[in-house]
Chain A
Amino acid sequence: MKENIEDTNRCNCSEVNDQNIESVVEEVVNQTGREKDKVIPILQEVQKRLNYLPSEALKHICRITEITPGQISGVSTFYSQFRHLPAGKHTIKICQGTACHVKGANLVTDAFRRVLAIGEETSTTSDNLFSIEEVACLGCCTLAPVVQIDEKTYGHVKPTDTENIIADFLHHASKKTRSSEVEEQEKAESEIRIGLGSCCVAGGSKEVLAEIISIREKYGLEVNLKPVGCVGVCNQTPLMEIITEDKTLSRYTNVRTDQVEDIILRHIKPVKLDKKIRYRINDIVDTFLSDSKLNSPANLSGATREKVLNNFLKKQLHLATEKSGILSPESIDEYILLDGFSAFRKCIYLPDKNDITNTITSAGLRGRGGAGFSTGKKWNIFRQSTDNLKYIVCNGDEGDPGAFMDRMLLESFPYRVIEGMMVAALATGASEGIFYIRAEYPLAVKRVRNAINMCSSRGFIGENILNSGFSFSIRIFEGAGAFVCGEETALIASLEGKRGTPHLRPPYPAVKGFGDHPTLVNNVETLALVPWIINNGADAFNTIGTEKSKGTKVFALAGKVAKGGLIEVPMGTTIRDIVENIGDGVAEGRKFKAVQIGGPSGGCIPEYLADTPIDYEELTRLGAMMGSGGLVVLDDADCMVDMARYFLTFTHKQSCGKCTFCRVGTKHMLNILDRLSEGKAIMDELDELEKLCISVSNGSLCGLGKTAPNPVLTGLKYFREEYEEHTRGICRAKRCTSLIKYVVTDKCTGCTKCSQECPVKAIPFNPYQKHEIDQTLCTKCDNCRIVCPEDSIEIVNLNDQY
């Protein structure tokens, strides 16, 4: 074994023995607290230090806190984050989000399992080096399929890449990474900006930044370096912008590390003599001896480079994402400089704080988490609840697979969301704020935590803020992995240290919530829009959008679209506009079939209805739902039965299990869909399925169960022929593995590439002869089709009519 790699990969976790467990637990409890509602943070920290939750740790926690054995058992088995068995030293997280699913995430999982020889019953390699975990959306949908190993993210993963990825990871883990920390420099006149959202980082922005830093040092350049938050152009990352002394802005997309030097030096020249000479020498050498100058994007005219971006950015309207690409997510000074906290200042000195709620109501702001309830109305109810202690919770538990808007807002505009929360507090008499952020968003947690600290140090959070008499404190709570906790009553239950099961409303949390105190739960995007509305006025907001749906909405455009990313568009923009103009149409020349809006609670809207404007009521009328903003584009290679099955699998797995209809009903629905995808279902079962959907929708306790049937219902409504075809054993999209087979066509040149890649040896190695696939062995992993240089492998229907 290579010793270096082994050394660096040695787990840093404490060795696990009883004595050590007890002392770790005691340390954690002393830091966190002994009350019952501290159970989740305690378990999170103990698991961080011990790699898992040994039984002795659970016992000791119960001994020294108010937490009961029943509570700790119920909680530690409810949330996905917790594990009771040790995991491998490195965890390979394979995203199961919508965009990743349509791009074949299940094949990637199979590939990793194969390559690492991980058996059926387990998820860890025999040497305990790697564990595989299928995780709900990582929020990097435009890079689908996405795999995250520890902190490193890999995008566009193909099943044939798995060995390389593992090797690359182990190699990097042992290398010392170059610094990508930006040191503050004397303010220079020119500036280089680099996007550092999670997707950007996954695309390699950190390496580009490290290269920029080293170039700056090498040539002694006088230039500011500014990491900025997400620009939303996720399909073009890494994204670099250079602003020269004369204030011209040049943008570069898809920047590679080897292009950095050339790009920078085109715009920014070294000042010192010795560096100038060095530059000239390098310049001449490069011009004569390498191609890199020729191919450098710096050679393209600004206009050409901009065109690619402009189409994407032109139709957008940035309200929640105002100043995107300019604001650095970590600097409070810059935020203040660019009008940050002006809404808060306006409100804090208002004699009648009710004006704030009235503004929000007349602006027409509706909850952006999905349900679209009038925010002003909710604030009013909350405002009228009398209690000394009132909470505001920012719901950052974005769990929709395929949605990553809230992640972006928290990572890139944390100060804005905080400002929105504080305006809400002023308007409604709240005294404590809680940011509920998914554990799967560590960068968001870090940025928000940093922002809260900066605000505190400037006196924007704390006692008697700005001498107004208003006091407000904010803390962060990390979700422990349960989609259902996006539902406000389940969220509150988890804050209280309970299992995340919803309860019937009324009573509404705005009246009786966390700890029985009034609690206002608002989505991240909703709060992010508040400062804009206060600053620009209700009328400025309600002139945008449609009659009932005002303002803008952030969408995560992903799936089979050419240019995916995060976009903010006015309500009323049509679906077709988004897909074809902003997203540049369906990729790879395929046919636009449908869009999935609203995630697992939403539905599929077929292409012929793509001229529908984005509007809460319009979408509900069609059987879908606005949802939180996930917008996944589907082409003719996507099977509608498979999509419904994918979403239902998700909701079924995420169901809390409390109410009969969701717990058991979704299982029955899933059984029928499984049978459909295997060609074993009969026509009668379609009617049974529909009836079941309606019962589950009527009988479920909370939104999860009530909306879980939507993908199936819209599928049956708009794509009924496809469902009926499945009862006859045909999958027209050629996706359902039981109904298709892979065949080699006559284009085959006998190059044996497929035979080499086949993991089950289903293709005999016969050079220069047309290859044959042994159908009895074939697992339909898609490897052969991917590697074939002649495109000679086709998928055909078993019960061929097409």
Chain B
Amino acid sequence: MISIRINSREIEASEGETILEVARRAGYHIPTLCHSDGIAHYTSCMVCMVREKSSGKFMPSCSSPVMDKMDIDIESDEVLQLRKKAVELLLSEHRADCEAPCRIVCPAGYNIPLMNRLLSGGDLENAGKLSHNQLNTSEIWCFHCPGYCENACRRKKIDIPVSIKNLQIFASGKNAVSDKDPVKPTKEKKKFMSLAGKLEERELLEWLKETDATLTRHREISSMPDAGEEALSCMHCDCRASEDCRLRELGQEMEIKDPRGKIVNSPAEKKINRETNLIFENAKCIKCGLCVRVCEDRTDEPVLCFINRGFVSIISEPLTENFSDILKIRTAECINICPTGALSWFKDNDVDETVK
């Protein structure tokens, strides 16, 4: 048995345990990103940093074995600052599109992409509920609104914006015109948004992969099939993991400023396998390697791997394989373990997304 101190409290530990394991057992919370219980540690994200007081050294707690007489500091300012810096750096390398531009500019903060997904799935009832709940009134404000949403719609840069106003009016089922003032803008600023609006041509083409460019576009919406088809033209600009992203959680917890434009790396490529329902967005990857490690050494099917070195290293299918041939068996494992939205279900059939 070994004895260590955490935040000046004596704690017993066994040889071979890591600082993180001991700390958690003792009830302390240390944030992590690239760690997952049961998977060999990789020491990549550096978010789990702690400090050993006698040597003054900072160490990643997920991989540091406990040693006798260690004196661990978990929560001092320096430690918190270093963790915050790690998350900041990761955010600067991560294309944060937590919320779609249309939702961000909407004065009511309406979840437009969700509405589109519901409509394209044929779920008019829930689309209507969403509209009534979020727009906070039974009246139709969109009719008066100049349509910031359509102005911000990324589809606009390709052909015409998604006909959001008309879709919403159709979904809410009312066609009465009101002369009340529009709803005041929602106070809650939705973080994070690295490159909203600033898409290059090559990036736009990637976003177009989310939909079928041959669909007919509808400006006026008068029937469900039309609504469904128009809603399908949505390019899904919001992140699939926006409610579920460990990086976003940490960023908000640590009160990190929105990087807005200070991003350093953003390969826009989207790789989609419609058969296995898998989408991989490299721009959201934080190189934690969990998807590689969870499948490590499997030889029954090709899996993801790291390629290149250093700043330009990325996760990819092996050079000798096509993306459509990998992860047929292990799709769910990889998607579930990914801490950000980099690996997600392409179509989330479990539309339990909040229709609040």
Contacts and interface: CB of A to CB of B under 8 A. Distances in A.
Interface string B178-210: 000000000000000000000000000000000
Given A658-B43, A660-B45, A70 B311 contact: no
Contacts of B47: 660
Interface in A468-506: 482, 499, 503-504, 506
Given A70-B303, A664-B90, A77 B46 contact: no
B320 A78 contact: no
Interface string B294-311: 000101001111111111
Given A504-B64, A655-B310, A656-B310, A73 B89 contact: no
A797 interface: no
B310 to A, nearest CB: 4
Contacts of B286: 660
Contact of B85 (A58, A62, A71, A699): A699
B339 interface: no
Which size class do A's interface residues fall under? Answer: 35 or more
Interface string A642-666: 0000000000111111111101111
Given A73-B316, A668-B264, A695-B82, A652 B310 contact: yes
B311 A657 contact: yes
Contact of B46 (A72, A653, A657, A659): A659
A701 B289 CA distance: 15
Interface string B256-294: 000000001100000000000000000000110100100
B32 to A, nearest CB: 12
Contacts of A655: 309-311
A20 interface: no
A309 B23 CA distance: 64
Given A68-B299, A482-B309, A661-B46, A699 B82 contact: yes
Given A84-B319, A657-B287, A71 B305 contact: yes
A459 interface: no
A656 B309 contact: yes
11 contacts: A74-B305, A74-B306, A77-B307, A77-B319, A482-B309, A506-B64, A657-B310, A659-B45, A663-B313, A664-B89, A695-B85
B320 A55 contact: yes
A385 B303 CA distance: 37
A698 interface: yes
Contact of A73 (B43, B65, B320): B320
A59 interface: yes
Contacts, number: 133
A119 interface: no
Contacts of A73: 305, 307, 316, 318-320
Contact of B310 (A70, A663, A695): A663
Contact of B311 (A59, A74, A506, A667): A667
B44 A78 contact: no
Given A73-B316, A73-B319, A657-B310, A701 B60 contact: yes
B310 A661 contact: no
Contacts of A668: 89, 92, 264
B81 to A, nearest CB: 8
B43 A504 contact: yes
Interface string A44-86: 0000000000010011001000001111111011110000100
B72 to A, nearest CB: 15
A54 B64 CA distance: 41
A671 B264 contact: yes
A399 B320 CA distance: 31
A664 B94 CA distance: 11
Contacts of A652: 310-311
Main secondary structure of the interface of A (DSSP, over half): helix
The 5 closest A-B pairs by CB, nearest first: A70-B305, A69-B318, A657-B313, A73-B318, A664-B89
Interface string B312-331: 11001011110000000000
B3 to A, nearest CB: 18
Nearest to B40: A503
Contacts of A79: 309
A664 B92 contact: yes
Contacts of A74: 305-307
Given A58-B319, A663-B287, A664-B264, A657 B309 contact: yes
B42 interface: yes
B93 interface: yes
A701 B43 contact: yes
A667 B264 contact: yes
Given A73-B316, A699-B46, A68 B297 contact: yes
A661 B89 contact: yes
A439 to B, nearest CB: 16
Given A74-B306, A657-B308, A668-B89, 4 more contacts: A657-B306, A661-B85, A663-B310, A664-B265
Contact of B302 (A69, A663, A664, A667): A69
A520 B286 CA distance: 34
Interface string A667-679: 1100100000000
B335 interface: no
Most central of A62, A482, A699 by chain B CB within 10 Å: A699
B226 to A, nearest CB: 46
Contacts of B65: 506-507
B158 to A, nearest CB: 27
Interface in A667-705: 667-668, 671, 695, 698-699, 701
B49 interface: yes
B320 A62 contact: yes
B58 interface: yes
Contacts of A482: 309
A419 to B, nearest CB: 36
Contacts of A70: 292, 302-305, 318
A658 B287 CA distance: 7
Nearest to B83: A699
B250 interface: no
Contacts of B36: none
B318 A699 contact: no
A695 B349 CA distance: 43
Contacts of B42: 658
A499 B49 CA distance: 24
B44 to A, nearest CB: 5
B326 to A, nearest CB: 9
Contacts of A671: 264
B254 interface: no
A77 B315 CA distance: 12
A504 B43 CA distance: 7
Interface string B30-65: 000000000000111111010000000011100111
B43 A78 contact: no
Contacts of A84: 319
B318 A77 contact: no
Contact of A72 (B60, B292, B308, B318): B318
B44 A660 contact: yes
A84 B308 CA distance: 12
Contacts of B265: 664, 667
A668 B92 CA distance: 9
B105 interface: no
B108 interface: no
A659 B43 contact: yes
B49 A699 contact: yes
Contact of A78 (B89, B292, B309, B318): B309
A78 B92 contact: no
Given A70-B303, A504-B60, A663-B311, A701 B320 contact: no
Interface string A370-384: 000000000000000
Contacts of A503: 43, 63
Contacts of B45: 659-660
Nearest to B286: A660
A62 B65 CA distance: 36
B355 interface: no
Nearest to B64: A504
A668 B89 CA distance: 9
A750 to B, nearest CB: 49
